[in-house]
A = this chain, B = another copy of it.
Amino acid sequence: MPLMSEFSVDEVIITTMARQLKGEVLVSSVTAFGSLAAHLAKRLYAPDLAVLSTPESGMDVTPMPTLTLGQFLTDVQQGIPLTMEDIFDAIFTDHFRIWINPSQIDQYGNTNITCIGDWSRPKVALVGARGIPEDTSHLSETFYYILNHSPRSVVQHVDFRSGAGNGESRQHLGPHGAPTTLVTDLGVFDFRGPQGQMTIKSLHPGVSLEEVQERTGFPIGGGEGDILSTPPPTADDIRLIREADPLEVRKLELMSGPMAAEKFVNIYERERQTLHATYPRVGKLGRG
């Protein structure tokens, strides 16, 4: 991971994610990175976004990256409550955006969160396709991020297509749902190859083309000529991210093992106090 003196890689990633969001659409904030990107975008780049506190719960509240997906904040801050039907109708009508964090993404932008190995006898069973098939058949923009760019996560062929990418996967699908952007800890990628393969759009400050190629499971295009550098976060970007995530829930997504466990416990203990302080519980029962 490149060293950066004034900002860390998570702040580059979140800022880049935020800058992709635009228009008046519902924005899911189901992960800490997605939540912070939505929040930052709304504050600085796309004021008409309708940010959700969790995927299906409250619209137009300020989401906070909490361990339990912000369900309390939703209630206490109210917002406009949505149903799951509202969420999927927004997906089908292309009024929805989400930053998806897949376990694998391949050169065509097919994504996998379902299993490693063959589906019928998986080496590792993951979680199931969730709502990714719906996103990748209906949204005019589909966004992905991966925090540990490696040949195990950015692969030639995904083990299972939870989400439909370009190429063969588009056979019975129109352009709706085709992959738009991948942001990783190394750079920003789009899908401008001849059959919609992944290409380099920009590299984060300090990242080399060689490093990207080394950590990518297939020969990646777009590295010809001058390669753009990802525009760094501004002071405002950084301030807003840090203010919105004082407990640094976002750091958990970058960690694993004992360090993650320790931080997790630490956040969990502090979270409740923070919530108490910020949003004193309103005693209410019903309407009127």
**Quick check: is A288 within 8 A (CB to CB) of the other chain?**
yes
Contacts of A287 in B (CB 8 A): 284, 286-288
Question: Which residues 270-288 in A have Cβ within 8 Å of B in the complex?
Answer: 282, 284, 286-288
Number of interface residues of A (CB under 8 A): 5
Task: Specify the chain B residue showing the minimal Cβ separation from A85.
Answer: B85
A287 to B80, CA, bound (A): 12
Contacts of A284 in B (CB 8 A): 287-288
Contacts of A288 in B (CB 8 A): 282, 284, 286-288
Task: Specify the chain B residue showing the minimal Cβ separation from A288.
Answer: B284
Contacts of A282 in B (CB 8 A): 288
| Nearest CB of B to A171, in Å | 34
A82 to B62, CA, bound (A): 30
A282 to B288, CA, bound (A): 10
Residue of A284, A287, A288 ringed by the most chain B CB atoms within 10 A? A288
A33 to B141, CA, bound (A): 54
